[in-house]
Amino acid sequence: MRSHSITHFTILITFFIFFQSAFSQKASKIELPSSYDFDYIYKLKMTHKKGDMTFDYYLKKGGTYFGFDSAEMTKTNEDAKMFMVMDNKLNISAMFMEMMGKKVVQKTKLKASDFKGDTDASAYTFKKIESKTIMGFDCEGFVSENEDVKITFYITNEVPVSFNQVFGANAKKMPKGFNPEWMKKYADNGLMMEMIYVDKKKSKNSMTMQCVGLEKTTFSIEASKYGSMMSAFGG
């Protein structure tokens, strides 16, 4: 399902792209901008049966890309640093790495479906529920459900950044009960502040994701300082 409301659920796609990038088509000939600049750090805590993890997403006002700090992925290796950027305009993910004193970038071409809302959402029901305040932001609540999963989430438009410019906010067919006006309301400034994902058939897959921080930043990745994997190691 990829309606606007569940568009933020595609945050989870980041994790899968991180692992699958090594098996995807390389995009070495695509030229990156000299730098990727960010305005906010969106901190998302994932609570799962196996434990908690906090991830930092770097967002740009009106940007068609976002960054992902993968420190959680490399915390067992203090010598390795990684930062991933998903760029909708170039249709790639770029993994910036620092290893053994070398700065390298691996560019991977993404399928259009990684960004576009091309999933049939008509099998889901959709309804609005009571609002609540999260981290000082007024958030509207929604529930989307089918026979397999139930997703409860809260979103706000009281923030200056969004994932919408990156992922888009469309689906082939909207779920039953979905009001298109909700999509318009959160088109420019809309961010998920909490999501409760319940797998009705496999409870071990259930999880909660909650925003635990939204901080201003001046962080930039200077892409021009990163070379290719081959050139960095003498290839």
Task: Say whether both 111 and 220 belong to one domain.
Answer: yes
State pLDDT tens for residues 122-175: 677 888 899 999 999 999 999 989 899 999 989 998 988 887 656 555 544 555
Cα dihedral value 44, 46, 47, 51, nearest 10: -120
Task: Say whether both 91 and 167 belong to one domain.
Answer: no
Q: Is residue 224 part of a domain?
A: yes
Q: Is residue 28 part of a domain?
A: yes
Give the residue from 136, 133, 183 showing the smallest Cα distance to 162: 183
The range of the structural domain enclosing residue 36 comes to: 4-115+216-232
Give the residue from 150, 102, 113 showing the smallest Cα distance to 20: 113
Task: Say whether both 38 and 149 belong to one domain.
Answer: no
Task: Say whether both 134 and 110 belong to one domain.
Answer: no
Q: Is residue 120 part of a domain?
A: no
Of 164 and 231, more confident: 164
Give me the mean pLDDT over the 40-59 stretch: 90
Task: Say whether both 74 and 149 belong to one domain.
Answer: no
Of 141 and 15, more confident: 141
Of 46 and 26, more confident: 46
Q: Is residue 110 part of a domain?
A: yes
Task: Say whether both 102 and 146 belong to one domain.
Answer: no
In the predicted structure, residue 58 carries a pLDDT above the cut 60: yes
In the predicted structure, residue 76 carries a pLDDT above the cut 70: no
Least confident of 41-45, 79-83, 87-91: 79-83
Dihedrals phi, psi of 193, to nearest 5 degrees: -105, -20
Q: What type of residue sits at position 151?
A: I
Matching residue, tokens 């071990």: 204
Task: Say whether both 227 and 143 belong to one domain.
Answer: no
In the predicted structure, residue 183 carries a pLDDT above the cut 80: no
Q: Where are the alpha helices (DSSP H) in the chain?
A: 4-7, 13-20, 71-74, 164-167, 180-185, 229-232
Task: Say whether both 24 and 88 belong to one domain.
Answer: yes
Q: Provide the pLDDT confidence category of residue 65 given band limits of 50, 70 and 90.
A: very high
Q: Is residue 147 part of a domain?
A: yes
Task: Say whether both 17 and 100 belong to one domain.
Answer: yes
In the predicted structure, residue 111 carries a pLDDT above the cut 90: no
Task: Say whether both 75 and 142 belong to one domain.
Answer: no
* Summary mean pLDDT of the chain: 77
Task: Say whether both 100 and 8 belong to one domain.
Answer: yes
Give the residue from 212, 172, 211 showing the smallest Cα distance to 190: 211
Q: Is residue 67 part of a domain?
A: yes
Dihedrals phi, psi of 150, to nearest 5 degrees: -130, 125
How confident is the model at residue 15, as a pLDDT?
47
Q: Domain total for the chain?
A: 2
Q: Provide the pLDDT confidence category of residue 13 given band limits of 50, 70 and 90.
A: very low
Task: Say whether both 24 and 90 belong to one domain.
Answer: yes
